[in-house]
Structure formats: structure tokens, C-alpha cells
Structure 1
Amino acid sequence: MEPGTYTLLVELPEPATVEFGARGEYDLDEGWYAYTGSAFGAGGLKRVERHRRLARGESDARHWHVDYLLGHPDSRVVAVYVTENDDIECETARALNDAGTPLSGLGASDCDCPAHLAYSPQREQVADVAAARHERES
């Protein structure tokens, strides 16, 4: 599979407290969460399917901050936006942070972005930005 950058659009229908590993607990509001990551290593964008399996409850391995949100029983991945062969991770995360509310420190442990996980009470606020930044939706 090709390498690239992706954004997961995750719905959380009810408020929840989620523990994000060493980052601790976050009280999350119901709404829409957009996580942007990149997959330039072995397997490329197959990582997206790994995230989907975790969200479906078929796996419980948590490697990235978003995995803790995806592992919450009420969350669900509703869309995936993908750009193959282009590293637009930080610029996309910054645009989503501007459109929504960044969850400080989550998903951005290897860069200087405030977060790679953004929240919005309205789907369109983050979905429209993700769609505009990526080539296609998978």
C-alpha cells in the first residue's frame, strides 16, 4: 500500500472520560474528533485499517494517542481522508486545530504542533477542512 497522510473523522455520541496512556485522562465532549497522522513506514496507509480494526473492537493494541479514543466503546470512525505520497500531516493538523479545538499534546509527540487531534461539536467544521486538505476519502 502507498505511503501518505490521513485524517480520521471520529464520532463520540456521548461525553466520555478517556485515558490517553501516559498523557492521562481527558474529559471529552460529545461531538466530532479529527486525528491526522502519517504512514510513511512499512505498510504505508495500511495503518488506517489497523485503526479501523481497533475502533471495531477487533484489536486492543494501543500505539498512538488516537488509539485510546478509538478503543472507547462509543467512538466510531465515520470517514477517512487520505493523501498518498505526500507528507501534509502538520499543515493539516494545524488547519484542523484552527477550525476546531486542539486537544493539547495529543497526537503530536514527535513535532511542535499543539495537537494532531482536534474537536468540534459540529461535523462540518472539521470534515470540510479534512476534505479540502486531502485528495480523496476512503
Structure 2
Amino acid sequence: MGGTYTLLIALDSSATITVGALGPQEFPTGSYAYTGSAFGPGGFSRVKRHRELARGERDTRHWHVDYLLGHPDAGIEAVVRTPDRDVECAVARALPDAGIAGFGASDCECGSHLAYGDGRDELLGAIERAHDAPEDT
């Protein structure tokens, strides 16, 4: 089964991370939300792959979020899913922009699919609300 997912990522210390073709990017300490879709043959197994990368069990970077998850001070704290619906862009637009243009949004017209919040619980609440009532894209 596939659908749309958002990862709540904690970054325990500020970091400059080179994000593929986006180059070096500044990431302040705090909580991040990355919204993606998983409609391929593996469906939500993509989330498992993200978890493995965050734990250091994988090295290969395919997506922008892989560079953030590959940092030793980053970890996945929660995953929110909307099964069987492509609401990736609607969810991403409902969250506060992290200020990294094009992050996770190379195949759409969104500014970014990465959100930032310095409060974990507030950002998680925003993620849950965005997944509860998104408009289809």
C-alpha cells in the first residue's frame, strides 16, 4: 500500500549539510517535517528505507531528505501517513516553509517539501492537521 507520508525529523545540533545539487544548506537545531509520496511498487516501504538511513544502516542517497537523515545528529521521531491518496503537495503547502528552496520538490511546482519548527509538538500537530483534511493535488 502507498500514499503520502510526512517524517518528523529531529536535528539535535545546527549543521551545514550538502544536499545533492542544492549544495550546502544551513539547518538550525530543531524539528523538520519532510513530506513525500510512496506510490511505487514498494509503497510505504520507502519509509522503512528512510528509517534505515537515519540509523546508519544505509549509505546511498537518492532524495534530498536522505542527506538530512544521513547526518549523525538527525533522527526520525514520528511518521504520519495518508494511505491511497496523493496529497503530498497539499500537505507540504500547509506546513511552515524551512527556507530551503526546492527541497524535495524537484518534480512539482511547490517551493519546498521541507518544513521547520523549533517546537516538536507544535510541528507534529500541524503535520497531523495537514494530513487530516488536505485537498487532493
Structure 1 runs of 4+ aligned residues shifted over 3 Å read none
Q: Unmatched 5+ residue regions in structure 2?
A: 133-137
Contact 2:13–2:73 under 8 Å retained in 1: yes
> Number of residues paired by the alignment?
132
Secondary structure of 1:43 counterpart: coil
Q: Is the 8 A contact 1:103 1:119 kept in 2?
A: no
1:78 aligns with 2:99: no
Conserved in 1, the CA contact under 8 Å of 2:95 and 2:130? Answer: no
The yes-or-no answer on 1:51 pairing with 2:58 is no
Query: Equivalents in 2 of 1:5, 1:110: separation in Å?
Result: 15
What fraction of aligned residue pairs are identical, expressed as a percent?
54
The alpha carbon displacement at 1:122 in A equals 1.3
Q: Which whole-Å CA distance do the structure 2 matches of 1:102 and 1:52 have between them?
A: 24
- Which position in structure 1 is the counterpart of 2:10? 11
Tell me, yes or no, if structure 1 residue 108 matches structure 2 residue 105: yes
2:123 to 122, 126, 131: 126
Q: How far apart, in 2, do the equivalents of 1:95 and 1:101 lie? A: 12
- Write out per-residue CA displacement over residues 77-99 of structure 1, whole angstroms, 9 at most, x where no aligned residue: 000001110111000000113xx
Counterpart Cα distance in 2 of 1:76 and 1:41: 24
Contact (CA 8 Å) 1:102, 1:116: kept in 2 or not?
no
**5+ long unaligned stretches in structure 1:** none
- State the distance in 2 between where 1:126 and 1:108 align: 20
RMSD: 1.1
Q: Give me the TM-score of the superposition, normalised by structure 1.
A: 0.91
